[in-house]
Structure 1
Amino acid sequence: MKSVRRRGAARPVAAALAAGLLAMGAIATAGPAAAEDAPQNTQSMQNTPQNAGGASATLGKLTVSDWVTVESPQKGPVRAGLFTMDVDKGGSLQTYCIDINTGTVEGAHYKEAGWRESSLQGNADAGRIRWILQNSYPQVNDLTALAQKAGVGSLDDRQAAAGTQVAIWRYSDHAKVKAVSPAAQKLADYLYDHAENQDEPGASLSLTPPAVSGRPGRRLGPVTVHTKADSVTLTPGPEAASRGVRVTDKNGKPVKTTADGGQLFFQVPAGAADGAASITASATTKVPVGRVLTGDGIRTQTMVLAGSSDGSVTANATVTWAKQGPAPAVSAKRDCARGGVEITVDNRGDRPFGYRIAGRKHTVAAGRSETTLVKVGEDQNYKIGVTGPGGLDRTFTGVLDCRTGIAAPAPTGEALVTQAGRGGTGSTGGSGTDGRPLAQTGGGSTAPLIAGVGGALIAAGGAVVFLLRRKRTAAGK
C-alpha cells in the first residue's frame, strides 16, 4: 500500500514541478499579440533592431590585474583590474567592472549605454567613478607621477589597475574590498578620498528620436545627430532606395555625411505607398571615458569605459508613413530608474491609433505620443511585442540589468504605466575561499540560470506542500 500511495503522491508532485518550470519561462517573457483590428492599410513596420547608438563590442580577458580581498557583500580573494573588449568592425576598449557580485562571461557581446540604462542609475557617486577613471590608469599612464600623487614609492601596471578597480567598487557597489598590494591599496584610498563628481558623458553616437513618422510627400523629422566624431556617414536601408526615400537636410538637400548637431529628414515621395524605411549612421571615434557597456541579451558583469582606441560606432533611425489615418512611429528604451522598458508610440496622423503592447490594448490620439512602461524583473530576459493595424509588428528584446548584487525576482504580473505626451511634440526618449578567483571579478556566470530555476522550484515546492497536506488531510478523514 505504501508504494501505491507514493506513486499517487508523485503524480501531483511531478505536475506541480512541471507547472513551476513552465511558469519560470512565462514570467520572463512578454510576447507579442495579434493586432486588435484588421489592417487598415498596407503599411509594414520592419523589425529593424532597436539601436540606441554607440559602440558594440565583445568581451575579452582580464589582461592587467592583481589580487584583492573582498569582505562584503561576498568574501574571498579575486583578481581585479582591466578587461579588453574588441569593437565590432574594428577598435578596442579597456574597461573596469561596476557589479562585483555578477560574473563575467568571456565572449559576451556588449552595447554602449547611458547611466540611466544601467546599475549606475540613481547612484549619487556615479560622477566620482568617472573622476577616478579620468585621473588614474590607463588614462594616466605615467605611473611614476601617479605613485607620487598616491604617496607610494612606485606602482606597476598591475597595482595601478587593481587599486583603481578597488576605488571604483567602493562607489559602484559600496563594497568593502582591499588590495593585497600595499601600493595598490594606497592608490585606492587616494582615488576614493579625492574623487569629485563629474557629469555623465554623452554617447559616442546617437540619433534622437530613433523613430519618426508622417505623410508621404513631406520631409519627415528631424532626427538629430549627437556624436564625438568629426564626421558621420549616413547609409539608407535597402527599403529606402526601393521606395525612393531620400535623406536630406532641413532645406531638402540630400546629405550623405553630417556631424554633431546635424538634423536629418526623410523625404518620402508623394505617391509612395504606405511603408517604412531606415537609416544607419556610422562613424569612427573614441568612446568617452565613463560610458557604460551592458550585456547584449545576456546577463554578464556591467563594464565602465576606461580607455578607447578609435573604433566603429553606429546608430539607427526609422521612418514610417501613411497616406491617411494614423501614422505611428515606435521606439523602445530601457529605464532602470523605473524598472522596465519604455515603449513610445508617436502618432503623426489624423486619426487615433489603436495598438497592443504585450497583448494589452492602448490608443494614442492623433498628433500625440504615448509612453508605456513595461515592468521587467531584474536580470530577466524580456521579449515585448508591439502590434497593430497596418502591419505593425515590432519585437524588442534584451536583459534588464539595473542593480548590483543579487537579482530581484521577476514581477508576478505585468504592470503597465502610461503617460500621455504633449500634442504636437511627442515624448520619445531623447572568489572563492580556496584562494582561486571567482569568475573573473564576480560570481559565477551560471548564477542567472541557477536563480531562475531555483525560483521556479521554490514556487513548485509550495504547490507540492499544499497538495501533500491535502492528501494527508483526506487520508486522516
Structure 2
Amino acid sequence: MVSAISESRASSASSGAPGPAVSSASAAPFARSVWRRGAARLAAAVLLPGLLAVGTLAGAGTAAADDVPQHLGGASATLDGLKTFGGAVLHTAGEDQELPAGLFEMTVEGGGTLKTYCIDIHNPTQAQAKYQETPWAQTSLGANDDAGRIRWILEHSYPQVDDLAHLAAVAKTGPLTDQTAAAGTQVAIWRFSDGADVDASDPAAEKLADWLEKNARDTPEPAASLTLDSAAVSGRAGERLGPVTVRTNADRVTVTPPVDVGVADVASAAGVKITDKAGKEVTTATNGSQLFFDVPAGADDGTASLAVQATTSVPVGRAFAGVTRSQTQILAGSSDSTVSATATATWAASGAIPAISAAKNCARSGVDVTVANEGDAEFTFELAGDEHAVAPGESRTVTVPVVEDQPYEFAVNGPDGLTKTFKGVLDCRTTGTAPPPDEQITTQLGTDSEGAATAGLTDNLAETGSSSATPLIAGIAIALVALGGAAIFLLRKRKPTPPTD
C-alpha cells in the first residue's frame, strides 16, 4: 500500500493547499447519451470536489467526526434536462448513430438558472442529477489542450450571441433557429472536448459547427463565481485563525457567523467571531478580503465553520461536475444565481491541532488529503492502510489513488477516535470510446411547467433519461439545501465579434 501513495511536504504557510488543478471537460449533460448497462451505471457515492474537515480534533474530544461534504465553492444545481436542441450524427467504429445535441438547463440551489453544454459525449447523465461548479483542473478539461477553445466557442455562439441573424451572417450558415444554433454549438464543442467525429444533422447547424471549430482561439479559464483559498485552518485558542481569502466576481458577499460543527461539545463555537486581519468583526466581504476565526482565550477545544454567500452571474465557461457519476457540463449562460462557499477552523489549547481537507487530483488519478498541524505536538494518523505523522507547524499531502468513474470511500483516522471519512467519484477523463453497436444512444428530455416532455427529437429517446441506478443514486446522494426561488434568466445579449487572424 505504501508504494501506491505519494506524499509531499510543505511548510505551514501552505497548510490546507488544494491538490493540482484538473480540467472540467469530462462530462456531457447536454447530449445525454445513456447506454443500458444496468448495474454498471451505479454511481453510489457522493463526489466531494473540495472536502472540508469538520468535527472535533484529537485533542478536543473522543467522538468521531461526521463528514460534511462541501465543494470548493460556487453554484450548486440540479439538472432539469435537455431543453433546446437539434440532431447530430456520431461516426464511430464504422457506425453512424443519431443523437440530440443542444442546451441543458439547471436550477440553482437557492435561486437561479444555468444553461450548459455537455463535454463528454459517451458518458450518461442521471435524471435530476446534482452538479457543483468545479475548476477545470478537477475535470477532464484540465488535461485538454483545447479547453480554452471551448470557452471561445461559448462566448461567440448561442446563447451568448442571441442575434441569430447576425450570427448566421458572420458564419455564413444560412438561417438559424434556436435549435439549430444550439446543435451546431454543441457539435463544435464535442469536437474539442472529446475529439469526436460528429456532424450536425441540419446543414445550417453543420456550417455553424465548422465555422466555430475553424475560428476558435485559446481562451483562459474563467475565475470561480465564489471560492475560498483555504478550506480548513487550525490553531490555538486565543488566536485569530486564518486567513481564509475570498475570491469572487460578486460585488459583495455576506458572511455567516461561526456555526459549531463539533460533536463532543455543541457549544464550542460560543464566543468565536469572524474578523478581518485587524480583529474587526465582519459580516460582509469583497474579492480579496481575508477572514479570520477569532477564538477567545480559554475556549473549549472544538471546531466551527463559516459560510459566505452572494448572488451573481456565474462566468461563462465554468465547469459543472456531477455529485454522482453524470456527464460533466460547461456553462453557456447564467441568470443571477446563489453561490456559496464554506471554511472550517479547529482549535485547542495545546497538543496536535490538525486541519484536514481533501480535493480531487486528476493529474495523479486520485484524491489529495492534506493535513496541516498548527499545534505543539506531532499529529499521527492512519490513511489507506499506512501510518503518517505531521510535525508541529508542518503540512503533509497524501494522494490516495482511486479508480476512474468508480465510487470510493476512505477515512483519516487519528488519536482519540478522530475520524474523517471521504466519499466520492473521480471523473477526470472523457469516456473516449463508443458503446457497443447493440446499445442505444438516448437523451434526457426536459419537462415543462406541467410535467409534460418538451418537444424535440422523438427517435430513440429514453423515457426520462435516467438509468436503472437512479433511485439508488438519489437515495445516497448528498442532500443539498434548496432555498427556493428562481431568478429570471438573463443571458448577455451581444453580437459576435468576428475572429482576427
Provide TM-score, normalisation by structure 1.
0.77
- The two structures, once aligned, show a CA RMSD in angstroms of 2.8
Alpha-carbon shift at residue 233 of structure 1 (Å) = 0.8
Among 289, 297, 300, the alignment partner of 2:316 is: 289
Among 106, 122, 132, the alignment partner of 1:111 is: 132
SS of alignment partner, residue 140 of structure 2: coil
Alpha-carbon shift at residue 208 of structure 1 (Å) = 1.2
In structure 2, distance between residues paired with 1:85 and 1:433: 31
SS of alignment partner, residue 222 of structure 1: strand
Among 355, 360, 385, the alignment partner of 1:334 is: 360
**Residue 175 of structure 1: aligned partner:** 196
Alpha-carbon shift at residue 354 of structure 1 (Å) = 0.1
SS of alignment partner, residue 141 of structure 1: coil
Q: Deviations over 1:416-450 (max 9, x none)?
A: xxxxxxxxxxxxxxx9989985234999864999x
Alpha-carbon shift at residue 396 of structure 1 (Å) = 1.7
Question: Per the alignment, do residues 43 and 134 of structure 1 end up closer, same or farther by CA in structure 2, a change over 3 Å counting?
Answer: farther
Mapping of 1:376-391 within 5 angstroms? 376-391=402-417
Alpha-carbon shift at residue 279 of structure 1 (Å) = 0.7
Question: Structure 1 unaligned runs (5+)?
Answer: 1-23, 30-37, 408-430, 450-477
Alpha-carbon shift at residue 143 of structure 1 (Å) = 0.4
SS of alignment partner, residue 149 of structure 2: helix
**Residue 140 of structure 1: aligned partner:** 161
**Residue 353 of structure 1: aligned partner:** 379
In structure 1, distance between residues paired with 2:438 and 2:141: 31
Alpha-carbon shift at residue 349 of structure 1 (Å) = 1.2
In structure 2, distance between residues paired with 1:432 and 1:63: 27
Question: Per the alignment, do residues 290 and 39 of structure 1 end up closer, same or farther by CA in structure 2, a change over 3 Å counting?
Answer: closer
**Residue 453 of structure 1: aligned partner:** none
Does residue 250 in structure 1 map to residue 284 in structure 2?
Answer: no
Alpha-carbon shift at residue 43 of structure 1 (Å) = 7.2
Alpha-carbon shift at residue 49 of structure 1 (Å) = 2.3
User: 1:43·1:274 contact (CA, 8 Å) conserved in 2?
Assistant: no
Larger Rg: 1
In structure 1, distance between residues paired with 2:408 and 2:441: 31
Q: Give the total of aligned pairs.
A: 393
In structure 2, distance between residues paired with 1:392 and 1:434: 50
SS of alignment partner, residue 337 of structure 1: helix
Aligned residue identity for 1:42: G
User: 1:56·1:111 contact (CA, 8 Å) conserved in 2?
Assistant: yes
**Residue 42 of structure 1: aligned partner:** 61
Higher normalized helix content (fraction of residues): 1
Question: Per the alignment, do residues 212 and 266 of structure 1 end up closer, same or farther by CA in structure 2, a change over 3 Å counting?
Answer: same
**Residue 227 of structure 2: aligned partner:** 206
Question: Per the alignment, do residues 89 and 28 of structure 1 end up closer, same or farther by CA in structure 2, a change over 3 Å counting?
Answer: closer
Does residue 272 in structure 1 map to residue 299 in structure 2?
Answer: yes
Aligned residue identity for 1:59: L
Question: Per the alignment, do residues 56 and 104 of structure 1 end up closer, same or farther by CA in structure 2, a change over 3 Å counting?
Answer: same
**Residue 324 of structure 1: aligned partner:** 350
In structure 2, distance between residues paired with 1:213 and 1:71: 54
User: 1:43·1:322 contact (CA, 8 Å) conserved in 2?
Assistant: no
Aligned residue identity for 1:122: A
Does residue 95 in structure 1 map to residue 116 in structure 2?
Answer: yes
**Percentage of pairs with the same residue:** 52
Aligned residue identity for 1:204: S
**Residue 63 of structure 1: aligned partner:** 83
Alpha-carbon shift at residue 214 of structure 1 (Å) = 0.6
In structure 2, distance between residues paired with 1:151 and 1:339: 43
In structure 2, distance between residues paired with 1:394 and 1:439: 38
Question: Structure 2 unaligned runs (5+)?
Answer: 1-40, 47-56, 262-266, 446-460, 471-501
Q: Deviations over 1:304-351 (max 9, x none)?
A: 000000011111100001111211100111111211111000111122
Deviates more, 1:93-102 or 1:342-351: 342-351
In structure 1, distance between residues paired with 2:299 and 2:66: 16
**Residue 184 of structure 1: aligned partner:** 205
In structure 2, distance between residues paired with 1:94 and 1:106: 16
**Residue 438 of structure 1: aligned partner:** 442
Provide TM-score, normalisation by structure 2.
0.74
Aligned residue identity for 1:313: V
SS of alignment partner, residue 206 of structure 2: helix
In structure 2, distance between residues paired with 1:28 and 1:268: 35
User: 1:102·1:445 contact (CA, 8 Å) conserved in 2?
Assistant: no
In structure 2, distance between residues paired with 1:113 and 1:156: 31
Structure number with greater CO (CA < 8 Å, separation at least 6) is 2
User: 1:78·1:436 contact (CA, 8 Å) conserved in 2?
Assistant: no
